[in-house]
Chains A and B, each alone.
Chain A
Amino acid sequence: MLKLFAPRTALRASARSGAPIPAFRPSAFPLTCNAAFRRGYASEAEERDLIVIGGGVAGYVAAIKAGQAGLKVSCIEKRATLGGTCLNVGCIPSKSLLNNTHLYHQILHDTKNRGIVVDGVHMDIAQLMKAKETSVSGLTKGIEFLFKKNNVEWVKGTGAFADEHTVDVNLVEGGERSLRGKNIIVATGSEATPFPGLTIDEEKVITSTGAIALKEVPKKMVVIGGGIIGLEMGSVWSRLGAEVTVVEYLGQIGGPGMDAEVAKATQKLLAKQGMKFKLNTKVTSGDDSSASVKINVEAAKGGKEETLDADVVLVAIGRRPYTAGLGFENIGLEVDERGRLIIDQEYRTKIPHIRVIGDCTFGPMLAHKAEEEAVAAVEYITKGYGHVNYNAIPSVMYTHPEVAWVGQNEQELQKEGVKYKVGTFPFSANSRAKTNLDTEGFVKFLSDAETDRILGVHIVGPNAGEMIAEGTLALEYGASCEDVARTSHAHPTLSEAFKEAAMATYDKAIHF
């Protein structure tokens, strides 16, 4: 163990040059595994306070937080840029496309009644993609800068466990490097779940990664899965002129968590924009052997089969943890039936100095949830205490109008037998929404019938994604509807709809 503190080569070099032998700094933690006592012939692995495997949202936030706390930290990431799925092929590029295609769609369909006359509008797909790439590269370079600022070493390669304290890195530039860590955080993220029988080529049969990089607008697009990713990417290509059909196995769109009333209203609004929906429908098989793709579907409970033809099929049935090549089996870490690494309340695996955060473990696969966990995991290491409230993690769907929610929905409350009150307020009665000519949707509060404590907030409407932050804060603080209703909200703003919905829940709204 002692040889780790002062490598022999360094001591011998010092002795030869006559320089004083530097004082060694002992580790705060005595390494326990046998490998620590074993002499190797290769160069000794470098020791870190923390090794983070994965440079996505979970990994890079953990690395920066640890760097700020003064830990000696290395982050292993194989991509050419930091930021993982979210920054490179997920949240960020999709938001660029959603924003710009919304502008295009609005210019095409929603300018004349505003007194704006626009002629000769057309879409330049190559430039659309370039704008997306500019946003992405700006942000990923920003993370690289933050690494340097906080003394985080970026090791470019693929990390695999060699033993409980050692991660072998297969370097992108060639060769291998061994890193030893007192603590290790695994943040390897997730990947799109493939659909059996369809081969993902990211051209004809695509995942969200392909959906943000199509070179031309497909005539017909089938989206398998009516969750957030499917609806967002379906919206993008629908706005650009594709005939989009969403096939969803369940009886409502939006995926888990979305309130049924909100899901129904959202489906109507998206259908008005041109998207088609096949709910309660299962995809039985697919054939991608010809130029187009044929998708066979039938009613979820069984029924007549139908074939859908598409130029492009987007597989958006969910995501699964990505742990391939991590070598967690080498050290006996366990996964559950869905491939998630098993952890306790402090993100520790059965080996306490190895923690797991983000998409590759429990909880919703959301970037902001991963960030919260990253901060908490590092605080558990440095302070022994961390905080993530899994009951107050917001969800947002960035279609137009946006959909956002936090806390429980009506169906969950009914299932649990909770007595609750409901209050809603439509944007059609909100002054700012009226001036913006953007009045679709509503805000809905759910509160405890006895105490008035907020249990859930659900919004479909303009700016819902920003507005939900107030609901999340209220939920986190344990606020009542009356607390929100008695808080002054600026006039005229969309946020007044939020306040009025709170008023409607504990008393009555003024403007509706």
Chain B
Amino acid sequence: MQASLRVLQHQPMIRFLGKRTLPTNINHAPKPHPAAPASRLPDSFATYRQKAQQHGPLNTSATNTGIGAQTGASLGPVELHPSGMAFARSELPKKFQTVPWTLAEIEAIESGGASMVA
């Protein structure tokens, strides 16, 4: 009798699924927006990523989060390594090295930019 009652009981389509968690695997590859009329993205999306890949940040899957997801502040200050060792800026690849001031730049700053138009 009780079993029959249970069968007759309404089974809701809505069910509690437990505390919400983020999906572990998310495919971030660009796909058309769900409300977009076109079924494919312009080629420029792939082209840009291909071009930008050479610089490093794109197409990496180190984290699931977006670019700049963490604030700079949350990373904390940069401190000297406990070993006491540090590297000199001059040891870095050239593009990271200090760009020396040119005379023209110094003059431009000191003249408030006037030397650039003189």
Chain A residues close to B by CB (< 8 Å): 1-3, 23-30, 32, 37, 39, 41, 49-50, 70-72, 182-183, 332, 334, 336, 342-348, 350-353, 361-364, 380-385, 388, 390, 452-453, 477-480, 482-483, 486
Contact = CB atoms under 8 A, between A and B. Distances in A.
A382 B65 contact: yes
A352 B67 CA distance: 8
Given A381-B66, A383-B64, 11 more contacts: A2-B89, A28-B72, A28-B75, A37-B95, A41-B108, A342-B36, A345-B32, A345-B34, A385-B22, A385-B23, A388-B34
B14 A478 contact: yes
Nearest to A22: B77
Interface string B90-107: 000001101100000100
Interface residues of B, number: 56
A477 to B, nearest CB: 5
Contact of A350 (B48, B70, B71, B72): B48
Given A39-B99, A345-B32, A483-B13, A382 B45 contact: no
A347 B31 CA distance: 10
B63 interface: yes
Secondary structure of the A contact surface, majority rule = loop
24 contacts: A1-B95, A23-B78, A24-B78, A25-B78, A27-B72, A28-B70, A28-B72, A32-B55, A39-B105, A41-B109, A49-B68, A334-B42, A343-B33, A344-B45, A347-B33, A352-B67, A362-B33, A363-B33, A381-B66, A384-B69, A388-B34, A390-B35, A478-B13, A483-B13
Interface string B1-25: 0000000001011100000001100
Interface in B33-77: 33-38, 41-42, 44-45, 47-49, 52, 55-58, 63-77
A350 B105 CA distance: 36
B107 to A, nearest CB: 11
Nearest to B22: A385
A70 B74 contact: yes
Contacts of A26: 72, 75, 78
Contacts of B58: 352
Residue from the set B36, B42, B116 with the largest chain A CB neighbour count within 10 Å: B36
Nearest to B56: A30
A25 B76 contact: yes
Contacts of A345: 30-34
A25 B14 contact: no
Query: Lowest 3 A-B CB distances belong to which pairs?
Result: A182-B68, A23-B77, A363-B35
Contacts of A384: 22, 26, 28, 63-66, 69
Contacts of B42: 334, 342, 350
B57 A30 contact: yes
B10 A486 contact: yes
A364 B69 CA distance: 28
A452 to B, nearest CB: 8
Contacts, number: 156
A28 B63 CA distance: 12
A70 B108 CA distance: 38
B21 to A, nearest CB: 10
A353 B72 contact: no
Contacts of A1: 95-96
A1 B57 CA distance: 15
B12 A483 contact: yes
Contacts of B31: 344-345
Contacts of A353: 66-68
Contact of A29 (B28, B41, B48, B68): B68
A416 to B, nearest CB: 16
Contacts of A347: 33
A388 B66 CA distance: 17
Contacts of B78: 23-26
B74 to A, nearest CB: 7
B69 A25 contact: no
A407 to B, nearest CB: 15
Contact of B57 (A23, A32, A50, A72): A32
Contact of A351 (B10, B35, B48, B116): B48
Given A24-B78, A39-B105, A363-B35, A350 B45 contact: yes
